[in-house]
């Protein structure tokens, strides 16, 4: 299935305004503030996502806030619509793709972020076991919150990440995880 790029209707000045609005929300804001920006952003076509993206969290009080970054999360890589590496981590001085099935989503909100950060070295030790060369997600065009955009659907987990364009090299994403009713926001910057 091929997804046609969504036309870019945003002018460069509008992109600058979106980037400033995002900067004003970082590093932390409310879910309502994050959704206000998300809803103001244009959709993004799947073809525009190709490549490697460095991620950072936008803290909104979600139980996952701080956990991904504490474990060495790097970002995501989009090879094409059918081949997405949804979790890249820094391990052993390299960036590796990790199978999301091994991500401990169940510890969210139960293990302090500091404890996770202190255990960061285990990612380096376990990288050979956690690593995958296979894509573990796909991209699909969806209508989300009234806007047609691209979403990443995980192969083995009840997770959908939906993206909106801040500017040509920045995305605002929101993760919908069935086991956590609150949205989890993150930012991706093109490498």
Find the range with the poorest average confidence among 25-29, 30-34, 40-44, 105-109: 105-109
- Which runs of consecutive H residues, i.e. helices, occur in the chain? 12-25, 31-40, 67-70, 113-118, 121-130
Query: Does residue 1 form part of some domain?
Result: no
User: 3: pLDDT confidence band, cut at 50, 70 and 90?
Assistant: very low
Instruction: Dump pLDDT digits (tens) for 115-140.
Output: 555 555 566 656 666 778 899 999 99
Write the CATH number for 56: 2.40.128.580
Query: Does residue 47 form part of some domain?
Result: yes
Greater confidence (183 vs 116) lies with 183
Query: Does residue 12 form part of some domain?
Result: no
Query: Does residue 97 form part of some domain?
Result: yes
- Average pLDDT for residues 158-186, to the nearest whole number? 94
| Mean of the per-residue pLDDT values of the chain | 85
Greater confidence (62 vs 83) lies with 83
Q: Dump the DSSP string for 120-151.
A: THHHHHHHHHHB-SS--EEEEEEEETTEEEEE
pTM of the model: 0.83
- Average pLDDT for residues 138-151, to the nearest whole number? 98
Query: Does residue 9 form part of some domain?
Result: no
Domain count, the chain: 1
Provide the domain limits for residue 102: 17-190
Query: Does residue 7 form part of some domain?
Result: no
Query: Does residue 4 form part of some domain?
Result: no
Greater confidence (120 vs 182) lies with 182
Query: Does residue 54 form part of some domain?
Result: yes
Instruction: Dump pLDDT digits (tens) for 71-95.
Output: 788 999 999 999 999 999 888 788 9
Instruction: Dump pLDDT digits (tens) for 101-114.
Output: 866 555 445 555 55
Q: Is the pLDDT of residue 168 over 60?
A: yes
């Amino acid at each position: 299935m091929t997804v046609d790029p969504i036309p870019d209707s945003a002018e460069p000045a509008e992109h600058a305004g979106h980037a400033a609005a995002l900067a004003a929300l970082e590093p932390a804001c409310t879910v309502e503030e994050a959704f206000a920006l998300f809803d103001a952003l244009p959709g993004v076509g799947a073809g525009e996502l190709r490549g490697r993206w460095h991620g950072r969290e936008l803290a909104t009080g979600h139980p996952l806030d701080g956990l991904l970054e504490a474990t060495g999360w790097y970002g995501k890589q989009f090879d094409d619509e059918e081949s997405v590496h949804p979790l890249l981590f820094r391990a052993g001085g390299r960036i590796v793709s990790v199978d999301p099935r091994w991500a401990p989503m169940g510890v969210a909100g139960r293990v302090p972020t500091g404890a996770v950060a202190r255990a960061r070295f285990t990612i380096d030790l376990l990288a050979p076991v956690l690593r995958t060369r296979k894509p573990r997600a796909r991209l699909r065009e969806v209508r989300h919150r009234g806007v047609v955009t691209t979403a990443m659907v995980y192969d083995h987990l009840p997770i959908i990440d939906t993206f909106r364009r801040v500017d040509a090299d920045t995305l605002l994403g929101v993760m919908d995880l069935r086991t956590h009713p609150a949205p989890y926001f993150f930012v991706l910057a093109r490498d």
